Amino acid sequence: MSDILDLTTLPPPEIIETLDYDAIVSRQNNKLTEIWAVTIAAHPDADLPPIDVLMLETDPAVIGNQAESFREVALRARVNDAIKAYMLAFSRGGDLDMLAAFYDVVRLAGELDDRLRRRVVLAIQGRSTGGTAPRYRYVAMTADLRVEDAIVYTVGRSPLIHVALFSTDPDGVASAPLLAIVSAALHDPKVIMVNDTIVVASAVRLVVNPEADVWLLPDADAGTIARMELALRSAWDEAQSLGRDFTVTWWTSKLMIAGVHKIVPRSPVGDVAVPSDQAAGIGLVTLNLMGRAF
């Protein structure tokens, strides 16, 4: 959802160094040449041979420089990793657990890093005096791992606070037991504000029935049409979320699998705008085979 800060949109932190092994090797070679030249000049009677950093890779001096450069890259990479462990956008695993604990957020059993990050952001936003929506959203997602997302909103001037749930269950529809679990969590006296009335419901499922004319390549097998539909449904299962628009460019691109020459959408011919409290689901998929062409 757009009101959660997307950490991936932030610019790369300057404190994290971009590593370049070749640049370090070049620097080491230049330094070695410089020091060796000074050494020769300081000891003219030592009969020291000149050193060529561009000599064979089997030369001990070259091997030593490469080994030291690799060690330096590994050390700098470890420093980068240590810095990332303290940044919410990059932290993962046990490091993320420790960072989340600072904000009183604990990982749910089976919860993946990305979902935990979202809850940490919501927990931080929910402490603001600017409103309770992030707080209620955080509580809804914390109540049960099956809550993929939630939207908190009001209608007009009504004092009712609506919480719409998008579930991990098929098509995102939240079951009655799940609704009861989330409702109980939101109505906990330690959570709900004194004058609030909260109504918990499943997000409305907006059914879209895509239809398109399809031309296959001459060598495409008979199962191509079935694989096209499967590719579309699988991709939407991954992308589906509250308020996610069902755009023509998106769904037609998912139909362009191996063996497909051309696709012309028939319905919907335009983008389907999905309100923030709804989730689009794919109903009947109709793919009309128009022929074969290059």
- The string of pLDDT tens digits covering residues 131-157 is 589 999 999 999 999 999 999 999 888
CA nearest to 288, candidates 270, 268, 271, 264: 264
C-alpha 205: how far from chain center: 24
CA nearest to 81, candidates 25, 22, 17: 17
pLDDT at residue 33 in the model: 81
Q: How many secondary structure helices (H) and strands (E) does the chain include?
A: 8, 8
How far apart are the C-alpha atoms of 20 and 170, rounded to whole Å?
46
Q: Where are the domains of the chain?
A: 21-84, 93-202, 206-292
Query: What is the DSSP track for 112-150?
Result: -HHHHHHHHHHHHHHTSTT-SHHHHHHHHHHH-TTEEEE
How far apart are the C-alpha atoms of 241 and 171, rounded to whole Å?
10
Residue 233: partners with Cβ closer than 8 Å, 6 or more residues away:
282, 285
pLDDT at residue 207 in the model: 93
Pick out the chain residues at pLDDT < 50: 1-2, 130
pLDDT at residue 271 in the model: 97
pLDDT at residue 80 in the model: 93
pLDDT at residue 2 in the model: 47
Residue 172's Cβ-side half-sphere holds a number of Cα atoms within 13 Å equal to: 28
Instruction: Write out the H or E segment, with its range, that includes residue 270.
Output: none
Query: 87 φ, ψ to 5°?
Result: -115, 130
pLDDT at residue 184 in the model: 98
pLDDT tens, position by position, 180-217: 999 999 999 999 988 899 999 999 889 999 999 999 99
C-alpha 177: how far from chain center: 29
Query: 113 φ, ψ to 5°?
Result: -60, -45
pLDDT tens, position by position, 155-182: 888 999 999 999 998 778 899 999 999 9
How far apart are the C-alpha atoms of 96 and 84, rounded to whole Å?
10
Q: Rounded to a whole number, what is the largest CA-CA distance in the chain?
A: 96
pLDDT at residue 54 in the model: 58
Structure tokens at 247: 């755009």
CB 116 within 8 A of CB 91: no
How far apart are the C-alpha atoms of 65 and 53, rounded to whole Å?
9
